[in-house]
Amino acid sequence: MDNKDRIKIVREPKWINYSAAVQIIKELNDLKFYPKSSRMPNVLLVGDSNNGKTALIEKFISLNPAMFSKENNEMICPVIGVQAPPEPDERRFYNSILEQLLAPYKISEKLDARQIRVKNLLQRLEVKVLIIDEIHHVLAGAPTKQRKFLNVLKFLSNELKISLVCAGTKDAFNAIQTDPQLSNRFVPRVLKRWKFDNEYKRLLLSFESKLPLKEESHLIEDGYAQKILALSEGLIGEISKIIELSTIWALENNLEKITPDILNEIRYVPPSDRKKMIYKL
């Protein structure tokens, strides 16, 4: 395998198991088996941008693919995930669900008819968990539109007796809190920024184990680990990017491990400094 192929491997998305993610995925998986009731449990996944929320959701969805039921010769889709529209809009939300399920729709279709079709489709597919990512987008609309959109979520949960998983930044909590009836049904789960501890070092070991380098880089050594943590500001997406850029630099310079000097060569800019660079122009 030449360096070009190895660089391609480095750039491919990778799932890294860590204790918080494993626990949350287990909790989400338990929702599938919760008995139907008038108050289904819901989860609100909150974290800073680029700290693993979407990757966690995508991993959970991949673990619960659609399948063909031999009993009734129908497709079953226990988990589906969509992204909240840029602003709270019922029609666009229903469209996202239909598109995710590869179900055609007409632009001219009335909203009531579309709502019924979405409800019937989710029911027929035996959906147990509906995931809405970027739920903080709800706050982009006027209060009236926010209430209508949240009412849609309540309607689907109540009518179908399914669990909702909403994910977003800290504003996601504020978005859900605008509806008291909905907010007290959600259990918040927070993906915190990483800190310098053994869990963080295990994370680095996991990343290093996936690198296509022939020599060990020893990323868990204090000098490496502390510098990566400081540059990334504790965000797992940034940690991943730093390691990716460092590995590519090493391969392009015919090295088989990440050295301390490489962290200075990749010209990585921490998240909080990116805006400062523009303002200084």
* Residues 103 and 114 grouped into a single domain: yes
What are the pLDDT digits (tens) for 42-92? 999 999 999 999 999 999 999 999 988 777 778 899 999 999 999 999 999
Which tokens hold the place of 204? 């680095």
* Residues 134 and 267 grouped into a single domain: no
Can you tell me the distance from the alpha carbon of 136 to that of 173, in angstroms, rounded to the nearest whole number?
Answer: 8
What are the pLDDT digits (tens) for 196-225? 999 999 999 999 999 999 999 999 998 889
Note down the domain range covering 62.
32-191
In the 8-state DSSP scheme, what is residue 167?
E
Which residue, 168, 191, 214, sits at the end of a domain? Answer: 191
CB 193 within 8 A of CB 235: yes
* Residues 134 and 199 grouped into a single domain: no
Conformational region of residue 20, where left means phi above 0, alpha means psi within -120 to 50, and beta covers everything else: alpha
Q: Tally the domains of the chain.
A: 2
Residue 281 has pLDDT above 60, yes or no: no
* Residues 169 and 217 grouped into a single domain: no
What are the pLDDT digits (tens) for 161-183? 999 999 999 988 888 888 888 88
Residue 135 has pLDDT above 60, yes or no: yes
| Assigned domain for 61 exists | yes
- CATH code: domain of residue 202: 1.10.8
pTM, two decimals, is: 0.91
- CATH code: domain of residue 83: 3.40.50.300
Residue owning tokens 């680095």:
204
| Assigned domain for 63 exists | yes
* Residues 67 and 105 grouped into a single domain: yes
- In sequence order, what are the beta bridge partners of 190? 46
Which residue, 191, 209, 237, sits at the end of a domain? Answer: 191
Which SS3 state, helix, strand or coil, does residue 62 take?
A: helix
Which residue, 191, 215, 247, sits at the end of a domain? Answer: 191
What are the pLDDT digits (tens) for 101-124? 988 888 888 999 999 999 999 999
Residue 189 has pLDDT above 70, yes or no: yes
Complete DSSP assignment for 77-145: -SEEEEEPPSS--HHHHHHHHHHHTT----TTS-HHHHHHHHHHHHHHTT--EEEEE-GGGGGGS-HHH
pLDDT (average), residues 131-151 = 93
